Amino acid sequence: MNARQSRERSVGRGGRWLAGLLLMSVSLAVLAGNLALTKHNLTPSGPGPVKETARSGLCVFCHTPHHAQATRALWNRNLPGITYQLYQSPTMKAQPGQPTGASRLCLSCHDGVLALGSVRMPTPGSQFTLGPLTGPGSLGTNLSDDHPVSITYDSALAALQGQLVDPVTLPPAIHLDQNGQLQCTACHDPHEEINPDFLRMDDRYGNLCTACHQIPFWRGSIHATSTQTWTGAGTPPWPQPGFPTVGENACLSCHRPHGAGHPQWLMSQMDEPSNCTLCHDGTAAQKDVATEFLKPFHHPIESAQWTHRPDEDPVTMVRHVTCADCHNPHAATASPSAPGALTVGGSQQQVSGVSIAGAVVQAATYKYEICLKCHGLQEPSTPGILRQDATRNIRLRLDPANPSYHPVAAIGKNPTITGLDPKYTSASQIGCIDCHDNDTWTAGGTQPRGPHGSNFRYLLAQQYQADDPVVESYANYALCYKCHDRATLLNSTTGFPHNRHLVLDQASCAACHDAHGSRNNRALVDFMLRTRAGLPVVTPSSSGLLKFVPGATRGHGTCYLTCHGHDHNPSVY
């Protein structure tokens, strides 16, 4: 190489170096210009409420060119040895560790331990006076209620967890550290605040959350698309001022990435039911479901809180009930069930259940399968009627293999049944909700439907007196007479023995019949031995027999028992 070529190469290298330096200077100038407009500008001219009174440089609160912390980014703050309490969840597949990388740098201010003015190299001639960060921006050292950070987010984790986007396909706005770890800077850009809270993306409609989280069925769910607004009454259901509609607030209607009310799953409210009832009290959702749980009989969602798990097994789970046992908030839609439909409707889509055969189903097809998840696998622990067949497992009583059952899982076995309301025939099927429902619900009304609460025991839609004795009246047996024609049933000729037992002897329907089904007899016959209060009703006859012998034709039979002081030894009907 001659001298001329050497000089040209040297000039070329210098030119490229100069161009690079110029580009860096321009980038830093743009960066500083953006930073100056944000709350991270802690100089006296900063736009935020927290700022220094002493003269200071713009970048000095985080960076210094000399004597920086031996970590990264020429950090101008010390990093004291703090052990943080980390986020935990029984369904999380990642293994978070103590904060590292960019998250550790962010926490040097946002854990509220060191004063904001406590920098390694302050602006020459200035005495900083800013104290530790306070308010919502101070996360403290307990990070269990904050989105986990310092986790390795790779394709393997996405595949293992099943509801994470493969990081290879993340949008450009989401920034992972060079080692593939998810840090605070994945969601927040500390140098510019194009979006509130330094978010890297507009989070309207949950766009930032769903950049990483791919929840099945979420996009078409009511919580992702609803245009309902908050009326302004009661407690705000989402961070204020928030977006106008439920759909726009999306994930933030129920979750908080920082300072969650309940740490696991980052739920917004400390009280589990409130995560649903804040909206479903008529202040955002159209119908007031919350009030139903104030009725004397209701599904006890206030007990055993935070027992439910998204991955729970109905066979082994601790007994409990919560809104999420019957409704999947990520999949529910506003599509109503067709009148009389037995299959699940929009509000119960993608909810697990138990089939009539006792098998767990991940997504119930029939409404009764959701009920059987709690009422079909084990005996209830609450007080109840004791019958000759001692089981109170509803699935076993509704089994279509039984001699008789109410037609929930299949049409009934009596093709010649008479005395039904004209709306029903021997080929009709009914659902659990036909008997267990809001007692104030009416078709076309404003009240919510469903077994949330009732003024009648057992969450019944209408009165059904199951004690004994009971004075016969339409009011006392309104639930039975919803389907069974009272005049036909009580006819002194065609309605015998009902007329005799109900009207004359004041025996209740429940004394002879179990409303769900009988594993031993036709016509739902299963004698009540004791009432719910433990009082005796039906006992053996004088010959020691207690049984029903069906007659040759339906509607006829022979009873051996003692009831209301009458010895049936036997009585033929």
Which spans in 37-154 are helix H?
101-110
Residues in a beta bridge with 454 = 297
Cα(524)–Cα(540) distance, integer angstroms? 19
Q: How far is CA 195 from CA 240, 265, 470, 532, in A?
A: 15, 24, 67, 60
Burial of 206 (0-12, 13-18, 19+ CB in 10 A): buried
Cα(311)–Cα(317) distance, integer angstroms? 10
Nearest to 212 by CA among 255, 260, 161: 161
DSSP per residue over 285-315, as a string?
A: SSSB-GGGGGSSEE--TTSSTT---TT--TT
The answer to whether 373 and 320 have CB atoms below 8 angstroms apart is no
Rounded to 5 degrees, what are φ and ψ at 242?
65, -170
Cα(93)–Cα(161) distance, integer angstroms? 6
Cα(263)–Cα(89) distance, integer angstroms? 8
- Give Cβ neighbours of residue 250 (< 8 Å, ≥ 6 apart): 203, 204, 205, 206, 209, 223, 224
Please report, in tens digits, the pLDDT of each residue of the chain (573 residues total): 555 555 445 445 544 544 443 444 444 455 666 899 999 999 999 999 999 999 999 999 999 999 999 989 999 999 999 999 999 999 999 988 899 999 999 999 999 999 999 999 999 989 999 999 999 999 999 999 999 999 999 999 999 999 999 999 999 999 999 899 999 999 999 999 999 999 999 999 999 999 999 999 999 999 999 999 999 999 999 999 999 999 999 999 999 999 999 999 999 999 999 999 999 999 999 999 999 999 999 999 999 999 999 999 999 999 999 999 999 999 999 988 777 789 999 999 999 999 999 999 999 999 999 999 999 999 998 899 999 999 999 999 999 999 999 999 999 999 989 899 999 999 999 999 999 999 999 998 999 999 999 999 999 999 999 999 999 999 999 999 999 999 999 997 777 789 999 999 999 999 999 999 999 999 999 999 999 999 999 999 999 999 999 988 877 899 999 999 999 999 998
What's the whole-model pTM score?
Answer: 0.89
